[in-house]
Amino acid sequence: MTYRPVTDPADPLVADYVGLSDADARRRLEEGILVAEGALVIEQLVRSPFPVRSFLVTERGLRAVEPLLAGVDAPVYVATQAVMEAVTGFNFHRGALAAADRLPPNDPFALAASASRLLLVEGVNDHENLGALFRNGAAFGIDAVLLDPTVADPLYRRSIRVSSGHALRIPFARLAGWPVAAVEGLRALGFEVLALTPSPSADDLRDVAPTPGRRWALLVGAEGDGLSPAALAAADRRVRITMESGVDSLNVATAAAIALHHLAR
């Protein structure tokens, strides 16, 4: 492990961490890399398959993450709090950042072939909701997350943070031919696709009997618009969470957590 002090925010060694608060600039930079924040997420990163490029820490942050760095062949740049904030562009107090290379995209049907529980996501472009979906997926034993082409980037910094690092651990892929060809491909692998919707015409989730050995995929959509009519039509079954009158829907991550808990029993 190589430690190097950084005193100049313009040092090219820390270019991976510049302007973290500039969303447009980061999207361009993060086509090839990802950034993890804080000890909890960095712990997930070093246990993941993503190759770590470097760490940027304050002295306090180094004390928190140093036990995690054993065996990681990447430089550690140590900066003051003022330099850290000048590099990142905001008041960053978690004390530790890590940058890693992204991996080539996964093949969705290769992931599905070895899975029994999938989370399918359509149209979710809020990074916090997406991160929460990955965290919930980890909590209830999801094998992989499959995304339609419009879903936000699961490896965007905020998504990774909200997922508590599980976006780095649960494999994911984007589906082409959404939704008809994609769902037909999953059905051919033996999956039952369950579309989660607040529609009163859908089956009550409590009537879906968890069956050992059954392969299922829970399909969820963005808040507001919900699942597209085409996705609802392509699914094998539409299911709803029964709620009190006057409440039209739940946050997508909350609804997914309830449904996953039921299905994973």
Q: CATH number of the domain that 212 lies in? A: 3.40.1280.10
47 and 177 assigned to the same domain: no
Residue 25's pLDDT is: 61
13 and 135 assigned to the same domain: no
Structure tokens at 144: 């992989």
Boundaries of domain holding 165? 108-263
d(CA 213, CA 216): 9
Residues 6+ away with beta carbon under 8 Å from 173:
105, 106, 107, 108, 111, 144, 146, 147
112 and 96 assigned to the same domain: no
Q: What is the DSSP string of 58-119?
A: -HHHHHHHGGG-TT--S-EEE--HHHHHHHHSS---S-EEEEEEPPPPPPHHHHHHT-SEEE
User: How many domains is the chain built from?
Assistant: 2
165 and 116 assigned to the same domain: yes
Task: Render pLDDT for 136-183 as a digit per residue (tens, 0 to 9).
Answer: 999 999 999 999 999 999 999 899 999 999 999 999 999 999 999 999
- Beta carbons of 142 and 170 less than 8 angstroms apart: yes
Higher pLDDT, 182 or 213: 182
Task: Render pLDDT for 214-261 as a digit per residue (tens, 0 to 9).
Answer: 899 999 999 877 999 999 999 999 999 998 877 777 899 999 999 999
Backbone angles phi, psi at 177, to 5 degrees: 65, 35
The CATH number given to whatever domain includes residue 11 is: 3.30.1330.30
46 and 20 assigned to the same domain: yes
Quote the pTM value.
Answer: 0.93
